[in-house]
C-alpha cells in the first residue's frame, strides 16, 4: 500500500482525500528537522508540508521511496526543487488558494497602521484615554506601492483601488497593470511615491536582502511598511532603526528569517515592543477557508499524479495534463533531457511487440517526461530495459 506523511497541521481534508484514494496516511502536527525527516520518510511515497519543514538534497537522496511532495502553501523555497527533479520527485504547491486571505490581512493592517489603531488599542488596555487625530489618516487618496505584482499583488491592487487608493507597482518581470495601477521603472521610483509599501515577492534566492537601510531611507517620510512575503528579504534591524528614528510611521510583519517550528515555541525579534508595529506569526494564508482550499487542491494534485501521471502545475517537472483511462496501461518515464530518448523508448517498446495507443512528451530544461499508453500488459523485460536506460530518472507503470 502507498503511504503518505502529512506534517505541520494540514487541513483534515488533505488526509481524507488521500485515504479515499486508498493511501495509508500518517499525520504529524509539527515540522521536522533534517535527521527526523529522513527517518520519518522510510517507506513513504507522498510527503505533505507547509513552510517550516526544509526538504534538502540530503533528505531527498535518503528517501528512495518518495514519489511526490506537496507544499500546502504558496512558497517552495523550503524545498530543493532541482534535487527533487533529479530524484524523480514531483513537487506541487498551492499558487492561488490563499491569495485572498493574504490580501485581506494586508488591507486590514494598512488601515490599522494608517489610523494608528495599535497604539490607541494599547493605550486603552493600559487604562489611558488617548483620543486624538494626530498621525491618523484615511487610506482613501493615499498611494499604495506594491513590490511584486504576482497573484497576491495584482489582487491587492484591485481591492485597494476600490478603497480609493492610488496604486503603483514594481516587478522585475513584465506584468499587465490592472485597473488604474501604474508600473514603476525602478524600486526607488516606487519608494519615492508610495505612502504605503508592501512586499509580495517570491522566495527565490535573488530576493534575499532586497529591502534594507538604503530602501528605508528612500521611502517617503511617514510612510508605512508591510512584509507578508518572505522573512529573508528584509533587514529587520534596519527597519527597527527607521521606526525608532520616526522615518517609518508603522510596520506590519508576518514573516521572519528564522521562525519557530511549533506552536507555543519561544519567539524573539528586534521589532518586538515598538509602537505602531503589528507582528503576526506567518498567518497571511491561515484562514479556515484558505486552508480548506489548499488541502483540497494539493492533495488532489498528489492523488492525480499517482493515479494518472498528470504533472499539471508541478513546479519542478515538465507539465502534462493527463486523465484517467480504462483498459490501458500507462508507462511514465521521467528522464534526463538528451537527444534520442523518445526514439529509444519507442524502439524498446517495438522490440517487445508493445503497441502504442497514445503518447505525450514534455520537457523542462534538463528534465524530460514521456507518457505512453499501451493496449496490452507491459512485459517485465520492457520495464527492465526502460529502467536500465542511461537517461532514466524514474519509471512508473500505471494500470
Residue of 11, 100, 230, 330 marked catalytic: 230
Q: Return the bridge partners of 279, or none.
A: 253
SS3 for 360-383, per residue? EEEEECCEEEEEEEECCCCCHHHH
Q: Which residue has the cell 510611521?
A: 249
364 is catalytic: no
Structural contact between residues 62 and 41, judged by C-beta atoms closer than 8 angstroms = yes
173 burial type by CB count under 10 A (0-12 exposed, 13-18 middle, 19+ buried): exposed
The angle, 0 to 180 degrees and rounded to 10, between the axes of the packed helices 99-114 and 151-162 is: 50
From 36, 189, 241, 259, the catalytic residue:
259
Q: What is the 3-state secondary structure (H, E, C) of 245-286?
A: CCCEEEEEECCCCCCCCCCCCCCCCCCCCCCCEEECCCCCCC
What's the chain's length in residues?
Answer: 399
How far apart (Å, rounded) are the C-alpha atoms in residues 374 and 397? 11
The Cα 246–Cα 221 span in angstroms is 8
Query: Is residue 259 annotated as part of the catalytic site, yes or no?
Result: yes
Q: How far is CA 184 from CA 11, 75, 198, 233, 269, in A?
A: 39, 25, 14, 20, 32
**What element of type H or E holds 385?**
helix 380-387
Is residue 5 helix, strand or coil?
Answer: strand
- Could you tell me which residues come within 8 angstroms of residue 124 by beta carbon, excluding any fewer than 6 positions away? 130
CA atoms within 13 A on the CB side of 324: 5
Q: Is 45 a catalytic residue?
A: no
Which triple of cell numbers denotes residue 376? 496490452
Active-site residue, from 240, 282, 303, 330: 282
φ, ψ of residue 121 in degrees (nearest 5): -65, -45
Q: How many CB atoms lie within 10 A of CB 23?
A: 19
β-pair type (24-27, 68-71): unpaired
Sheet of 46-49: strand order equals 24-27, 3-6, 46-49, 68-71, 90-92
Would you please indicate which residues are annotated as catalytic (active-site) residues?
Answer: 230, 259, 282
Amino acid at each position: 500500500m502507498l503511504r503518505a506523511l502529512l506534517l505541520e497541521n494540514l487541513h483534515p481534508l488533505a488526509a481524507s482525500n488521500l485515504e479515499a484514494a486508498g493511501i495509508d496516511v500518517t499525520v504529524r502536527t509539527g515540522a521536522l528537522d533534517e535527521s527526523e525527516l529522513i527517518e520519518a520518510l522510510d517507506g513513504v511515497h507522498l510527503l505533505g508540508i507547509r513552510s517550516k519543514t526544509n526538504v534538502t538534497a540530503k533528505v531527498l537522496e535518503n528517501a528512495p521511496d518518495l514519489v511526490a511532495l506537496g507544499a500546502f502553501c504558496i512558497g517552495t523555497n523550503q524545498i530543493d526543487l532541482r534535487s527533487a527533479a533529479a530524484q524523480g520527485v514531483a513537487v506541487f504547491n498551492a499558487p492561488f488558494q490563499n491569495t485572498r486571505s493574504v490580501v485581506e490581512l494586508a488591507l486590514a493592517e494598512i488601515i490599522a497602521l494608517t489610523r494608528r489603531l495599535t497604539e490607541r488599542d494599547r493605550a486603552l488596555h493600559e487604562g489611558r484615554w488617548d483620543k486624538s487625530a494626530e498621525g491618523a489618516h484615511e487610506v482613501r487618496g493615499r498611494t499604495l506601492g506594491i513590490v511584486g505584482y504576482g497573484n497576491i499583488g495584482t489582487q491587492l491592487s484591485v481591492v485597494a483601488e476600490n478603497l480609493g487608493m492610488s496604486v503603483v507597482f514594481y516587478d522585475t518581470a513584465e506584468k499587465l497593470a490592472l485597473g488604474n495601477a501604474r508600473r514603476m521603472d525602478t524600486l526607488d521610483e516606487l519608494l519615492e511615491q508610495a505612502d504605503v509599501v508592501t512586499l509580495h515577492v517570491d522566495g527565490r534566492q535573488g530576493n534575499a536582502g532586497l529591502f534594507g537601510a538604503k530602501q528605508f531611507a528612500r521611502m517617503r517620510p511617514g510612510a508605512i511598511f508591510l512584509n507578508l512575503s518572505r522573512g529573508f528579504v528584509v533587514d529587520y534591524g534596519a527597519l527597527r532603526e527607521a521606526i525608532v528614528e520616526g522615518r517609518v510611521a508603522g510596520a506590519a510583519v508576518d514573516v521572519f528569517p528564522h521562525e519557530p517550528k511549533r506552536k507555543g515555541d519561544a519567539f524573539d525579534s528586534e521589532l518586538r515592543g515598538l509602537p505602531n508595529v503589528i507582528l503576526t506569526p506567518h498567518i497571511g494564508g491561515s484562514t479556515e477557508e484558505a486552508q480548506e482550499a489548499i488541502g483540497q487542491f494539493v492533495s488532489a494534485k498528489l492523488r492525480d499524479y499517482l493515479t494518472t501521471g498528470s504533472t499539471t502545475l508541478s513546479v519542478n517537472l515538465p507539465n502534462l495534463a493527463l486523465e484517467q483511462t480504462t483498459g490501458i496501461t500507462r508507462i511514465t518515464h521521467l528522464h534526463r533531457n538528451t537527444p534520442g530518448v523518445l526514439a529509444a523508448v519507442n524502439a524498446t517498446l517495438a522490440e517487445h511487440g508493445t503497441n502504442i495507443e497514445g503518447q505525450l512528451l514534455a520537457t523542462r530544461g534538463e528534465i524530460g517526461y514521456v507518457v505512453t499508453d499501451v493496449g496490452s500488459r507491459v512485459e517485465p523485460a520492457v520495464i527492465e530495459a526502460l529502467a536500465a536506460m542511461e537517461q532514466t530518472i524514474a519509471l512508473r507503470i500505471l494500470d
